[in-house]
Amino acid sequence: MTSHRTGRRSRRSLMLALAVSMTLCANPFTATAQEPEPTGATGPNEVTFPTRTLGLGPDIEFRGNSDIVTLTVPVPDGNTPAFLDTTAQLPTNIARGSIDVTSDGRLLTRVELPAGGDIVPLSIPLAGAKVENDAAVISLDLSLSAVDNICPQDWTLGSVRLRDGVVRYAGTPTLPSVVADFLPPVLERLELYLTEGPTDAESTVALDLAADVTARYSGRQVPVDVRELPPNGIPPAADSPFVRQIVVREGEDTGVELGAVPDGPPALYVRGDAETLLDQGHLVNSILSGLAVGSDVAVGAFDVAPVLAPDSTTLYDLRVSDLETSGLGIADVHLFLDQAEFGRPVRDVAIDLKGSYTPLPAAQGGLITVSAGDVQLDAWAADASGVIDRVVTVPNSSLGRLTDITVALRTTGSQQQCGLQQPVTLSIDGNSRVSSTVADPPVPVGFPSLPQTLMPQLNVATAGRTLVDVGRAVELVAGLQSLTTRPLDPTWVSIDDALTSSAPALVVAANGVLPERLQSELPLVRTEDRRFEVRNADGESTSLTFGTEVDFASLQVVRDDGRTVLVATSTDVPEELDRTIDWLSAEPGRWFELDGSVLFTAPDRDPIALVDPQTQDRDVDAASSGTNSTVTAVVVAGVALLVVGAAGAAVWAITRRRRPQSR
């Protein structure tokens, strides 16, 4: 009997995905711990990817003395999985252990684990795994025996961990010859080529492609670059077979075409006039793309209607998977509720929880608990019925962008020799209904309210109409999209249209030139060369006056007339804004970890999020108060420390005054 919890671990790992470089090798049927090939080495007919690049996360965790983890490994056309190279972190009290590697019900190999416990390099052969639909489903079945056959209690929550994995593939990747095969199972980088003065239609298609492609590779945070198209209309050769290049051109010709690029993979040319260009761009990642089995195809007009969020839905509809688990002494299911999957910011969440569990023998007792993070929501004794039918309410104070609802069955009573005790199984019905209401303002506030407050449609505007500005907007949209599998729907508009519309917006003003209405709503502004003003949620403001002029860049989250506006700006130092955007994309998880309402970047310093503890404490009340969600005067100390470090000694004075609250 084994424990199945792959989805839980993979979902958690999705928050930490990142694209990195590549390499590879061959394989035997049985294996023992051995030195893996160095990551990054290359050779003929070889390629490697870190597991986090493949959407599997950096670590693979097992529980107890017997557990199964199932991996869905993407496989590029022309390649086959050869090895999983990793570092195994083993418990100290192992007498013996092994990992059986299976695919499609067939044993591929058995890897013996050393006794005594240690941190050892491990190379797990994967040759022979069945590849179907560009992926190989591989199960790792762990079996451990402890010293003296006693099951250590510390194995219950974690026994073996495989860290920093790298998958090595055999073979040579096949380059696409038809539009349907343009996007590979593994993508290192997407390059979008536009002319220096992109049109509204070209800019919208670039934004849309960034969102669609990033959503397709959910959990991997694929870099998206906007580049200037050379005069000859052909991009330079990509530096890897796993880089894809798309040329977006508005003109009289209409269609999508694969075009040869000397010494590189073919590029995709998306063409059309102002009315048809977006439809052609939609084809790249739409349900129709699989039908594009030619190198040149045009699609007719089709509308992608925004998906409106219902008040009641199911766990399955929220993409909650891994709803059954087994274990010794404890079985727990994690229901990760993602506000973006609701399609809106939510509050007053209730789950009509239905499921089942293994009825316990008379010699054992049991307790079922439901928790949101560290907060226990409900608990009741396990009985002989083995049925779960309970309505659980999630307090607004426990809601995050991603809320971990844990349903756990813990047993007590008689224990048997290690390996003989029967595990218990806990199952939650995916048709369990989840009800909610829209939160205005959102819960939580600030960066954790993104991207759910930017749905169902997002307006994007920049202060300038240059390729560089479009590139900044595209990178920001890609970063926001990396937070969810649900595609954003960005549309290029003017700043005036962005401010007069009721739709949420992303505004990029690298030169700091913003309309007065928006400037007055920002939590942090420089009112003079040497003075900062920091505004709080209650309409109060605090000013800092420095001895020298201080520049900075920022990302700021604003609530404006019941909608969210994300503002990317600077004090006319666009290079600092670029550094901020680069910093966000440089490490996996940085977008997800942002807190507060301001990301502040001073020259020669790393960006820092300015967080107001009072605003965090008042998240519950904020959903009904109607006040603006911004940083308070608590932030002043952080700003002062940052700026003093960048600008030298500062002389500052603080004044408070009441400003009108936003409605």
pLDDT 10s digits, 333-359: 999 999 999 999 999 999 999 999 999
From residue 646, how far is each of 167, 564, 598 by CA, in Å? 43, 31, 18
Residue 488: is its pLDDT beyond 80?
yes
Question: Where, residue-wise, is CATH 3.30.379 in the chain?
Answer: 179-297
Smallest CA-to-CA distance from 22 within 39, 37, 35, 36 is with 39
Token representation of residue 504: 């949420």
What is the C-alpha to C-alpha distance for residues 488 and 393, in angstroms, rounded to an integer? 29
The amino acid sitting at 234 is: I
Token representation of residue 201: 């239609």
Q: What is the dihedral of CA 179, 184, 188, 189, to 10 degrees?
A: 20
Token representation of residue 417: 């020799």
Looking at residue 27, its pLDDT comes to 33
Is residue 484 within 8 Å of 340, Cβ to Cβ? yes
Fold of 179-297: Chitobiase; domain 2 (3.30.379)
Is residue 452 within 8 Å of 498, Cβ to Cβ? no
Helix 467-481 to helix 200-216 angle (10° resolution) is 30
Residue 4: is its pLDDT beyond 50?
no
What is the C-alpha to C-alpha distance for residues 638 and 659, in angstroms, rounded to an integer? 23
Smallest CA-to-CA distance from 209 within 305, 277, 261 is with 277
Is residue 572 within 8 Å of 461, Cβ to Cβ? no
- pLDDT 10s digits, 219-269: 788 999 999 999 999 999 999 999 999 999 999 999 999 999 999 999 999
Looking at residue 20, its pLDDT comes to 28
Residue 535: half-sphere exposure toward Cβ, Cα within 13 Å: 24
Q: For a pLDDT cut of 90, what percent of the chain falls above it?
A: 62
Tell me how long the chain is. 663
Q: What are phi and psi of 36, to 5 degrees?
A: -75, 160
Of the candidate CATH numbers 3.50.80.10, 2.60.120.260, 2.40.50.100, 1.10.510.10, the domain formed by 305-439 belongs to 2.60.120.260
Q: Exposed/middle/buried for 663, CB within 10 Å: 0-12, 13-18, 19+?
A: exposed
570 bridge partner residues: 553
Residue 648: is its pLDDT beyond 90?
no
Higher pLDDT, 616 or 451: 451
- pLDDT 10s digits, 438-466: 999 999 999 999 999 999 999 999 998 89
pLDDT band at 530 (very low <50, low <70, confident <90, very high): confident
For 1-173, CATH gives 2.60.120.260
What is the C-alpha to C-alpha distance for residues 131 and 185, in angstroms, rounded to an integer? 12
What is the C-alpha to C-alpha distance for residues 74 and 56, in angstroms, rounded to an integer? 10
- For 148-177, give the DSSP string: GG---GGGSS-S-EEEEEEEEEEE-PPPP-
Residue 658: is its pLDDT beyond 60?
no
The amino acid sitting at 84 is: L
Token representation of residue 46: 């070889």
Smallest CA-to-CA distance from 437 within 564, 595, 310, 295 is with 310
Strands of the 375-381 sheet, one edge to the other: 330-338, 402-413, 364-372, 375-381
From residue 451, how far is each of 335, 442, 479, 565 by CA, in Å? 20, 11, 10, 11
DSSP state of 309: P
410 by DSSP, 3-state: which? strand
pLDDT band at 40 (very low <50, low <70, confident <90, very high): very low
Looking at residue 490, its pLDDT comes to 96
Token representation of residue 59: 């670590």
| Cα-based angle 548, 553, 556 (whole degrees, multiple of 5) | 125
Question: Where, residue-wise, is CATH 2.60.120.260 in the chain?
Answer: 1-173, 305-439
pTM comes to: 0.85
Which residues have CB under 8 Å from 570's CB, separation 6+? 509, 510, 511, 512, 551, 552, 553, 554, 576, 577
Is residue 245 within 8 Å of 238, Cβ to Cβ? yes
Least confident of 138-142, 403-407, 630-634, 636-640: 630-634
Q: What are phi and psi of 122, to 5 degrees?
A: -140, 135
Higher pLDDT, 206 or 548: 206
- For 480-510, give the DSSP string: HHTT-SSPP-EEE--HHHHHHSSS-EEEEET
From residue 543, how far is each of 306, 537, 557, 653 by CA, in Å? 42, 15, 20, 7
What is the C-alpha to C-alpha distance for residues 63 and 328, in angstroms, rounded to an integer? 9
Looking at residue 326, its pLDDT comes to 83
Ranges of H-type helices in 290-386: 339-342
What is the C-alpha to C-alpha distance for residues 420 and 411, in angstroms, rounded to an integer? 16
First to last CA, the chain: 58
Q: What is the dihedral of CA 314, 318, 324, 327, to 10 degrees?
A: -130
Neighbours of 120 (CB within 10 A): 16
What is the C-alpha to C-alpha distance for residues 305 and 296, in angstroms, rounded to an integer? 26
Residue 637: is its pLDDT beyond 50?
no
Helix 574-586 to helix 467-481 angle (10° resolution) is 30
What is the C-alpha to C-alpha distance for residues 622 and 115, in angstroms, rounded to an integer? 55
Is residue 136 within 8 Å of 129, Cβ to Cβ? yes
- For 88-132, give the DSSP string: EE--TTEEEEEEEEEETTEEEEEEEEPTT--EEEEEEE-TT--EE
From residue 568, how far is each of 518, 577, 615 by CA, in Å? 12, 7, 22
